[in-house]
Structure 1
Amino acid sequence: MTDSEKPAGAAARDYSKTLFLPQTDFPMRAGLPVREPLLLDRWAATDLYGQIRAKAAGQPKFVLHDGPPYANGNIHIGTALNKILKDVIVRAQGALGYDANYVPGWDCHGLPIEWKIEEAYRAKGRNKDSVPVLEFRQECRAFAGQWLDTQRGEFKRLGVTGDWDHPYATMTFPAEATIARELMTFATTGQLYRGSKPVMWSVVEKTALAEAEVEYEDVVSDTIFAAFRPTAGAADDLASARVVIWTTTPWTIPGNRAVAYSKRVAYGLFRVTAAAEDNWAKVGDLYVLADTLAASVFAAARVEGFERVRDVTAVELAGLTLAHPLAGHVPGYDFAVPLLDGDHVTDEAGTGFVHTAPGHGREDFEVWMANGRALAERGIDTRIPYTVDADGALTEDAPGFTGKLVLNHKGEKGDANKAVIAALTEAGTLVARGTLKHSYPHSWRSKKPVIFRNTPQWFIAMDKPVETLGNRTLRETALQAIEDTRWVPPQGKNRINGMVGNRPDWVVSRQRAWGVPITVFVKRGTHEVLRDAAVNARIVAAFEAEGADAWFTDADGARFLAPDYDPADYEKVTDVLDVWFDSGSTHAFVLDDPEQFPGLSGVVRKRDGGGDTVMYLEGSDQHRGWFQSSLLESSGTRGRAPYDIVLTHGFVLDPKGLKMSKSKGNVVAPQNIIKDSGADILRLWVAASDYTDDLRIGPEIIKTFAETYRKLRNSLRWMLGSLAHFEPGTEIPHAELPELERLIRHRLAELDGEIRDAYASFDLKRVVALLNGFMTGDLSAFYFDVRKDALYCDPISSRVRRAALQVIDETFTRCTIWLSPVLAFTAEEAWLDRYPSETGSVHLQTLPETPSAWRDEALAARWQKIRRVRRVVTGALEIERAAKRIGASLEAAPVVHVADADLRAALDGIDFAEVCITSAIRVEAGEGPEQAFRLDDVRGVAVVPALAEGRKCARSWRVSPEVGTDEAYPDVTPRDAKALREWDAAHGAAA
């Protein structure tokens, strides 16, 4: 206060020196961008990770197995969310008493890295195909290694603690050897096979893709309605009719081999009664269509009138054979086109008939294969043509269109559609055409459309009974494993269950160079895979010594086959593995290899009767990615999932809920947030958000969390400042503590259970809400506010002051440890300020036990009533302060009218003026005068403000008639006079 504010007589002595004001070096301004790196250096210098491991030794294990990010660029806000969430959970599990070891890892193979090297080649005008494979692989390895180091630094800057000196990487020699061994297990058990199926193919990247490697974007496609003429098995009126199909991929018409219908759909024979003369559909033309779709088909065909002639039954359709719509016009299409019943056919869109090109779609392939024997008996050629090559060009199996491009090397639409549509028009079999905007798969790397292309690939069978799985199929085993797993949130179970239940065989081959090769040999002239334990052992040994490059050091694989087999008799497979198989195998070389990762050895899975837990945690897109590939890999080799718990989080969007993109300019970089605000602000945002849904972030959102952080920090700072005066060993028994201190202890006991439960159930949002409510509401806005007078001004001997310091000490310890998983840096800073140590850390602490005897529900219920009345008093004083009728609440002595007898009884026996921080207060029964201040939600309480009577104490600023009653200290209250006597006695003289 200024001299002008001091009470009369105060000039002779500076009483502020006699107050027990907070004293701390813990700064109000966090300065996190500067302070956090210093703490990171400390953690490294003191080997905090090693200390945590040593302290947790022997405890049940909680292993959060890291889903490997690609080592191909700087981290983004989604990666930051993922890694922070993992770190908070790992730290929380450690605080709960588990040996929570975290080994970070990286995916280092596959297109994400290979694509970057090719981009560099293209920029230099260099052709990748002219580079020796081992040289190319070495460049990929060096690139991945560089970004692994960069990302490691970025992750550490987020405050993520783990075994950063010994991470796992899929490109290490032991990892590559294990991946090959896992693949050869599938080969040995007969689950791996080479087959020809339509797969998603990237023309740009020249490789097959799995569902997990595509994303869906809207495109505008050409659409056509094409007519098929019956050639056999038709009644007289059907013989002159046409079966109509609709497709968004006209370029697949050369690959058509059948038309599918459904016996569940009602069909009719329709005649055109009115149409323009230049129309493709002429008056008198007969068409077979699904009843519910006829009108929309004729509208698309610009038919002005039509009539339904009769029903067409499924029996009639089953007996029909059709002519290809290009037959008789383009040579090479004079073959029979059967009608096949298909479960995938509906009457929701199109015509009720599905153009079936078995080389260009999964369902087309499946219905064709399911009818293979019957078709062969009818003399129909069941061979599936290869109508599109790796470059997106139509082949000789598409007569008349060879060389036409579906997509070019840039992923742009080629001339194949135009050529096919023109041929159908000339053949007179086009009924209508148009365009359609719809969702279509794109490679998530090149961002270009893919095509469905029949090509020889390696697959893992989903529905083949396997002896080592108890004659169950991989699908059955995986579905049971899903049941055995805990999914957080629970809906994740339904999501992955549906995906696994409906997925096709797993295509695991890629036509690339940077990856673990498919380490199998095939007997020439057959599809027989060599299954030999000695050959497999030689492959694994070579990979352990040289890495997967060993596979490419000789052309025929003699080093692995000889002396047992003649290399001339075998084909060495040169495809590499799907990178999802790599990452799906990480459990095998991280969780199951004690030599490489001794800290994770000895994990006893819960379902095996132990107490250890393995968690996988990634974004919700990984139900079709890593969660699923890991599930299938482990189920196929071990008969169970590699995890006990799977937790998923949403994606990060901008403040408007839009996806972030550089073109929109709405990208939020974690590096910028850390530079400006610090990593703890980012960590608080992660923990306080509902991670089960999509999260939003932007400058204003960060500003909000910075304000929340400031309040939490100030609570810690005030406690630290007050505890500068705490003397351990002066503790007061619980029963002798004042009610207010027992109330705070009750809240600590409540929070102890709530926070343990929230951390144990991974409900981080609840943890932050509980601590924020307690520290800013119960503590800063209430308890600290009430106790400041006693803490600052009471005599040294005051039991109230001692009791308050004792409880603040207990509160600080708990709040700091409770906060430490979330605010990793700030909690450490506060802890070291309170407990300076060369090697100490808050992260070595477990959640402190809080005595259940501190719980006092009756006391809490009473103080809830007291605080309700207090809110009315506080509201009344705020109005007085705003009107400048008082300056501080200590100038007031309000009259509180309480009509509710229960509320009034709650106030008995307490110093309500102290609770309301007024110099005096009077509580009266009754409703109070009409002009009294009231709150709508606190019925029966009315407050009439009044000024306190007496003089203002020069030390505590209380207004009291008793100021000056002590002759030795004439300008203070008796309480302050006693405090001054004790102070002077302790310090030898008046200060």
Structure 2
Amino acid sequence: MADAPQTPDGRDYRDTVFLPDTPFPMRGGLPKKEPEILAAWGDLYADLRKQRQAEGAPLFVLHDGPPYANGDIHIGHALNKTLKDFVVRSQFLLGNDVDYVPGWDCHGLPIEWKIEEQFRAKARRKDEVSKAEFRQACRDYAAGWIDVQREQFKRLGIVGNWDGRYATMDFATEAAIVKEFHKFKNSGQLYRGSKPVMWSPVERTALADAEIEYHEHNSPTIWVKFPVTGATDDHPDDLLAFRHATPAIVIWTTTPWTIPANRAISYGPEIDYGLYEVTALEEGLEFEPWAKPGDRLILADKLAEEVFKAAKIAGWTRVDAVNPSGLECAHPLAALHPGFGYSVPLLAGDHVTDEAGTGFVHTAPGHGADDYEVWRAHGHHEIPDTVDPDGAYYEHVPLFGGLKVLETEGKKTGKFGPANPAVMEKLIEAGTLLARGRMDHSYPHSWRSKAPVIFRNTPQWFVRLDGEHGLRDKALAAIDATTFHPAGGRNRIRSMVETRPDWLISRQRAWGTPLAMFVDRQTGQPLHDDAVDARIVEAVQAEGADAWFTRPDSDFLGAGHDPDRYEKVEDILDVWFDSGCTHAFTIEGRADSKWPADLYLEGSDQHRGWFQSSLLEACGTRGRAPYEAVLTHGFTLDENGEKMSKSKGNTVNPLTVINESGADILRLWVSVVDYAEDQRIGKQILQTTVDAYRKLRNTVRYLLGALNGFDEAERLTDLDQFPPLERYILHRLWELDGEVRAAYARYDFQDVVRPVLEFCSGDLSALYFDIRKDSLYCDRPDSLKRRAVRTVMDEVFTRLTAWLAPLTPFTMEEAWTTRFPEAGSNCARVIPATPAEWENTAEAARWAKVDTVLEEVNDALEAARRDKLIGGAWTPGPRSRPPQTPSAPSDGLDPAEVFRTSGAELSAGETAVTVKVADAPKCRRCWRRMPDFSESSGLCGRCEDAVAAIDAGR
């Protein structure tokens, strides 16, 4: 209505048309507006809790998995914390009281490394710094990043008990962790064992399964001959013809450096083995093979040909079948040094297969879990120490003392050292190397340093999973009793717990919570004394874990124990044990919380991390999981589906997105993606999100403008007075209300935002607003139809601002306070009750049919515009003839109003739409061409009546 609607005598009707009017801007300006809203909220979370507690609302507990206090937040943080905020805000919206205490993980190697770097920059080595000074520097570093990340999370709109936040380095927290550790110690679930564990020479500490990730690695491969020296007495005499040539058992390995630690060879009892004699070698080679005609080799029959190919053997004869049971071999380096002069027995092992290799497994019990288990199962208890904590051979290792397996300093840090080539050269010298090569395979790396790890025998402390306490069985039962979102998470964590080894909980580092206990030097057992434990916990509570390292032993042992008899354990706890205890000091025992939590929510990698450590800790101390349900999300990739990397330059910084577009844009992206799978983000995807946001904002803005001046006196309450279209929109509100509540209850935020956005763009913008703008702008203010329109729009606004409050809280807050500046925060509302009588499936079915006809009419009108037969929507007149069909009932509907034309005729039996130009003059107020046009006023009858009513009311 850009033209001034004037009468022939010059009257301007513009001030009689009710155009939308609102101060709510079209452009969001979120980067500037959101901080203002945050300031206005104040401590919104505390206010919401007080309100719900005063209402006696049910309690919902979301326990926060702690991010690491190291560096600015990244897009993974933003996704995770936003999803948690969706849960918190939606539970408040559903009428619950919500306990959510954000927390931080503060101990561990990344921070320790940073502090080591800082001291090195000051020309101070770590061993020149007191433990107290070093730990304080770590504490200060973590505290600084907690402050930074907390403000960044707040800027995202995350609500929670920020003032009551937890951190694993707080004194009270460290005391609580020690107390939980003592429960394992005193219950007998803790033991010290010397066994091979995954060890990081670069980090100089043991690592647990949850700290390992696998990367492709190119390793040397070798086939090694172990000469057979004899057999046990019960071995058949005719098994081997030793008189012809000494046979050798052949093994294959990708870790040549473990050969000096070999103590046995494992074989598979169900595998068929044969004795093979070499008859010919490949010719025309650039080198001479190490095999010779006449060599006799024992191999798995299924793998013999592969081995011969690797060794360049062209001809062979199978001499006989072989049963390896009872055979003994010489070490392949025995000829070079008497230190390798021991016998190497053949041991049956279920872990041996004939899928790859030779069918025999070189067994170094100090460097492999299977090797260790089969060695112990055959009655052997001594475990050789071959490699030191720095990844070098001990000096006592013959031929190789001091050589590095892995480099731990300088530019080559994390690379394999000279040990592998040195071992291969000595095998060649001894005449026992049959072949060698290289292969790409998956190899374990530390997820922190990204450096390869090794299996290394070392005394460590473990929590026993099996035995009389049955921790594994308790954990599996707890998994079965837990709800998982998505459901597949149950099988994933269950398979991990079923097969995982005992929980390795000790680490050889400085920054962390100690295994604060004493061990009897005579018995090797931990001291069980409640008074000693109480003194330890009390000291840590008062001074932090530093007290364990700085106070004399006598302060803890008291008068009843001789300090000389006890060893103070100064290892620190696995950081997963720290975070696995968070339920014990964050939610348990608090008056305004409850245990167990209703929900744990983290990335899917936490099935082997926090979910699992929390499960084991709680099952070990309380007999059940600390959660009722677990929700997991995927990882965030770039727009091409590739992993984000700073080196690739494909990262998306959430702080940049917030500064450029606003937090609500990032939050809307989180709400739209399927978080259960890996998600993608980038400039194009964010632009799509901005477009969706703009449509949503325009919908809210139109409602605000259309509802300007609406009050309760104008509201219609009798449903019978509502036209069919209004009853249809109310039905859609009833329908959406059920969908939204159910989706929030099952944490399915995509099923909230998508139907609501479709409702805004389809039912509202494309249908309802377009049809009703004529009535809204031009009907007299007291007409029942206009009152019905504004009543329905009020109901729509009331629900939209509630439904979307958890997802786009800044925008919905701005909209709500624009209309109701004195009504308090939109975030404090619950979803309004939706009357059951709004359900109207018959009206919904009718409008589905009307929509089919409307499509045909719109196509015909668009074609007429292209042909310049008509101009605006109101140009077609009363002789427009959309078809009257059974699929388009029109009872109670004005077809011209629905089609947005000046008139319409429905004729039974027609199958096409005919567009005719209306011959009536155009009303100067509503622009419709109506037969009841008044020449004197220039208005149609409807507008004359409206203007008269408006003039009378002035």
**What does residue 859 of structure 1 align with?**
843
Name the counterpart of 1:730: 714
2:893 equivalent in structure 1? 910
How big is the shift at 1:631?
0.6
- Decide whether aligned partners of structure 1 residues 801 and 563 sit closer, same or farther in structure 2, where only a CA change above 3 A counts: same
The answer to whether the Cα contact below 8 Å between 1:174 and 1:547 also exists between their aligned partners in 2 is yes
Distance, in Å, in 1 between the alignment partners of 2:414 and 2:878 is: 79
Counterpart AA for 1:279: P
Q: For residue 238 of structure 1, report the CA deviation from its aligned partner.
A: 6.5
Shift of 1:960: 2.0
What residue in structure 1 maps to residue 497 of structure 2? 500
Map of 2:352 onto structure 1: 345
Please give the secondary structure, in 2, of the residue aligned with 1:88. helix
Q: Which stretch shows the higher mean deviation, 636-645 or 212-221? A: 212-221
Counterparts of 1:533 and 1:488, CA distance in 2: 41
**Which one-letter code corresponds to 1:176 in the other structure?**
E
Structure 1: unaligned runs, 5 residues or longer: 376-381, 467-472, 606-612, 929-941
Match of 1:264 among 259, 267, 270: 270
Of 746, 749, 764, which aligns to 2:734? Answer: 749
Cα shift at 1:821:
0.6
- Displacement of 1:396: 3.6
What letter matches 1:975 in structure 2? R
Q: TM-score, normalised by structure 2?
A: 0.96
User: Hey, what does 1:879 align to over in structure 2?
Assistant: 863
Q: Mapping of 1:149-188 within 5 angstroms? A: 149-188=147-186
Shift of 1:786: 0.8
Partner secondary structure for residue 263 of structure 1: coil
> How far 1:102 moved relative to its partner?
1.1
Q: Structure 1 residues 955 and 537, CA, compared in 2 at 3 Å: closer, same or farther? A: same
Q: Contact 2:588–2:595 at 8 Å: present in 1 too? A: no
**Aligned runs of 1:570-585 on 2, under 5 Å?**
570-585=566-581
- The equivalent position to 1:301 in structure 2, one of 307, 311, 321, is 311
Contact map agreement 2:877 2:929 (CA 8 A) in 1: no
Please say if residues 349 and 374 of structure 2, whose CA atoms lie closer than 8 Å, have aligned partners that are also in contact. Answer: yes
Query: Cα deviations across residues 149-201 of structure 1 (Å, max 9, x unaligned)?
Result: 00000000010000111101111111000000000100000111111111111
CA distance in 2, matches of 1:564, 1:95: 58
Matching residue of 2:524: 527
Following superposition of structure 1 onto structure 2, how do residues 272-311 of structure 1 map, counting pairs within 5 Å?
272-276=278-282, 278-311=288-321
Contact 1:20 1:725 (C-alpha < 8 Å) held by counterparts:
no
Write out aligned runs for 1:223-234 (5 A).
223-233=221-231
1:761, distance to aligned residue in structure 2 (A): 0.8
* Distance apart, 1:488 and its partner CA: 0.6
Question: Taking structure 1 as reference, are residues 923 and 267 closer, same or farther at Cα in structure 2, changes over 3 Å only?
Answer: farther
C-alpha spacing 1:2/1:896, structure 2 compared with 1 (3 Å): closer
Is 1:792 matched up with 2:777? yes
> How does 1:729-878 map onto structure 2 within 5 Å?
729-732=713-716, 733-837=718-822, 840-878=824-862
Q: How far 1:692 moved relative to its partner?
A: 0.4
Note the C-alpha offset of 1:236. 4.7
1:250 to 220, 232, 256: 256
Partner of 2:67: 69
Helix, strand or coil at the partner of 2:214: strand
| Counterpart contact for 2:186–2:528, Cα < 8 Å | yes
Q: Which residue of 1 aligns with 2:17?
A: 19
Paired with 2:850 and 2:918, the residues of 1 have a C-alpha distance of: 21
User: C-alpha offsets along residues 53-81 of structure 1, whole Å, 9 cap, x if unaligned?
Assistant: 01211322211100001101100000100
**Amino acid aligned to 1:907:** S
Alignment of 1:634-645 (within 5 A): 634-645=618-629
What is aligned with 1:590? 586
Following the alignment from structure 1 to structure 2, what is the Cα–Cα distance between the partners of residues 340 and 849? 73
Distance in 2 of aligned mates of 1:325 and 1:887? 96
Q: Which residue identity is paired with 1:171?
A: M
| Matched position secondary structure for 2:600 | strand
Give, in whole Å, the separation in 1 of the partners of 2:13 and 2:316.
103
Establish whether residue 695 from structure 1 lines up as the match of residue 663 from structure 2: no
Give the aligned residue type for 1:921.
A
**Deviation of the 1:222 alpha carbon:** 0.8
Partners of 1:288 and 1:635 in 2: how far apart?
A: 49
- What pairs with 1:376-525 in structure 2 (closer than 5 Å)? 382-409=381-408, 410-466=413-469, 473-525=470-522
Where 2:707 maps in the other structure, the secondary structure is: helix
**2: CA distance between counterparts of 1:283 and 1:577?**
57
- Encode CA deviations 1:576-597: one digit per residue, 9 max, x unaligned: 1111100000000001142xxx
For 1:701 and 1:876, the matched residues in 2 are separated by: 35
Aligned equivalents of 1:550 and 1:806: distance in 2? 68
Number of aligned residue pairs: 935
Q: Which moved more, 1:651-660 or 1:18-27?
A: 18-27
Alpha-carbon distance between aligned partners in 2 of 1:859 and 1:491, rounded to the nearest angstrom: 40
Residues in 2 aligned to 1:412 and 1:269: alpha-carbon distance in whole angstroms: 39
Given that 1:894 and 1:944 are in contact with CA atoms closer than 8 Å, whether structure 2 keeps it comes out as no
Residue 98 of structure 2 aligns to a residue whose secondary structure is coil
Q: What CA distance in whole angstroms lies between the structure 2 residues aligned with 1:388 and 1:449? A: 15
- For residues 392-442 of structure 1, give each alpha carbon's deviation from its aligned partner in whole angstroms, at most 9, with x where no partner exists: 101145311111100111112100001100111111111110111112121
Does the 8 Å contact 2:721/2:784 carry over to 1?
Answer: no
Task: Please give the secondary structure, in 1, of the residue aligned with 2:48.
Answer: helix
Q: What whole-Å deviation, never above 9, does each CA across 1:714-769 have from its counterpart, x for those lacking one?
A: 11111111111312133321122111111111111111111111111111111111
How far residue 118 of structure 1 moved from its aligned partner, in angstroms, is 1.4
Instruction: Tell me which amino acid in the other structure corresponds to 2:420.
Output: N
CA distance in 2 between partners of 1:60 and 1:349 (Å): 59
Deviations 1:855-877 (A, max 9, x none): 01111101110111111212222
Report the CA distance between 1:232 and its aligned residue.
2.0
Distance 1:435 1:774 in 2: 60
1:860 is matched by which residue type in structure 2? A
In structure 1, what is the equivalent of residue 916 of structure 2? 946
Q: In the TM superposition, what is the alpha-carbon distance from 1:481 to its structure 2 partner?
A: 0.7
Looking at structure 2, the residues matched to 93 and 915 of structure 1 have their Cα atoms a distance apart, in angstroms, of 40
Paired residue for 2:691?
707
What's the counterpart of residue 931 of structure 1? none
Within 2, Cα distance between the matches of 1:393 and 1:901? Answer: 88
Q: Could you list the per-position Cα deviations for residues 477-502 of structure 1 after superposition, in whole angstroms to 9, with x for gaps in the alignment?
A: 11111111111101111111011111
| Equivalent position SS for 2:886 | helix
Q: Which stretch of structure 1 is more off in the superposition, 813-822 or 97-106?
A: 97-106
Other-structure match for 2:592: 599
8 Å CA contact 1:873, 1:896 repeated in 2: no
**Where do 1:541-580 residues align within 5 Å?**
541-555=538-552, 557-580=553-576
Q: Report the TM-score, using the length of structure 1 for normalisation.
A: 0.92
For 2:930, which of 956, 960, 963 is the aligned residue? Answer: 960
**Inter-partner Cα distance in structure 2 for 1:731 and 1:9:** 33
Deviation per residue, 1:236-287 (Å, 9 max, x gap)? 5365322111111100111111111212333233332321482112223222
Unaligned 5+ residue runs, structure 2?
Answer: none
1:976 alignment partner, one of 939, 943, 947: 943
1:316-327 paired onto structure 2 within 5 Å: 316-327=323-334
Deviation at 1:907? Answer: 2.3
**CA distance in structure 1 between the partners assigned to 2:850 and 2:684 by the alignment:** 37
Note if contact 2:60-2:99 (Cα within 8 Å) is conserved in structure 1: yes
> What is residue 630 of structure 2 aligned with on the other side?
646
How far is 1:895 from its partner? 6.5
Shift of the alpha carbon at 1:134?
Answer: 0.3
- Partners of 2:946 and 2:515 lie apart in 1 by 83
Aligned to 1:632: 616
**Which deviates further from its counterpart, 845-854 or 727-736?**
727-736
* Distance in 2 separating the partners of 1:11 and 1:450: 93
Task: Confirm or deny that 1:371 pairs with 2:378.
Answer: yes
Residues 746, 856 of structure 1: 8 Å contact kept: yes
Q: Give the letter aligned to residue 810 of structure 2.
A: F
